[in-house]
């Protein structure tokens, strides 16, 4: 199955598990299947920096006009970060949906307030 065919199977009602499985398939198809969680984490840190640049650009903050081509759009940079987050979960054999539910169950029992 081609990457385009795999992508076409995703819809706006695809589950997090569907997305995580898709990312594993395309990562393998693109030749990145042997990368470790540490490899993906380094790439995620880089992408978070690119997301920061995109947000700075969209907010009218100072940017280097000679490097404006290095400032992507927020949507694309968020998607890159999400792909790498799913890649890390896959490399660590973590079902991100289950991890999210467990963590939010814990968070629901916590008390939050602003510090003064």
pLDDT score recorded for residue 17 = 96
CATH number, position 46: 1.10.287.1080
Cα 109 to Cα 115: distance, rounded to the nearest angstrom: 19
pLDDT score recorded for residue 63 = 85
pLDDT score recorded for residue 71 = 83
| Whether the Cβ atoms of residue 95 and residue 89 lie closer than 8 Å to each other | yes
φ, ψ of residue 9 to 5 degrees: the values are -80, -15
pLDDT score recorded for residue 100 = 97
pTM over 0.85: yes
Q: Which domain holds residue 88?
A: 36-108
pLDDT score recorded for residue 65 = 85
Task: List the pLDDT tens digit at each of the 116 positions of the chain.
Answer: 899 999 999 999 999 999 999 999 999 999 999 999 999 999 999 999 999 999 999 998 988 888 877 788 999 999 999 999 999 999 999 999 999 999 999 999 998 888 87
| Whether the Cβ atoms of residue 99 and residue 16 lie closer than 8 Å to each other | no
Residue 78 maps to a domain:
yes
pLDDT score recorded for residue 105 = 95
Cα 56 to Cα 74: distance, rounded to the nearest angstrom: 10
Contacts of 77 (CB under 8 A, 6+ apart): 47, 50, 51, 53, 54
Residue 27 maps to a domain:
no
Residue 90 maps to a domain:
yes
Number of structural domains (the chain) is 1
pLDDT score recorded for residue 36 = 96
């Amino acid at each position: 199955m081609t990457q385009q065919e795999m992508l076409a199977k995703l819809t706006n009602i695809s589950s997090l598990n569907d997305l995580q499985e898709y990312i594993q398939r395309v990562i393998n198809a693109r030749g990145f299947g042997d990368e470790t969680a540490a490899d993906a984490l380094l790439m995620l840190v880089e992408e978070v920096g690119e997301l920061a640049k995109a947000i700075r650009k969209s907010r009218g903050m100072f940017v280097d006009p000679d490097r404006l081509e290095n400032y992507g759009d927020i949507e694309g940079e968020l998607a890159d970060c999400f792909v790498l987050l799913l890649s890390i979960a896959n490399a660590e054999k973590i079902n991100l949906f289950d991890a999210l539910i467990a963590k939010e169950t814990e968070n629901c029992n916590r008390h939050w307030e602003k510090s003064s």
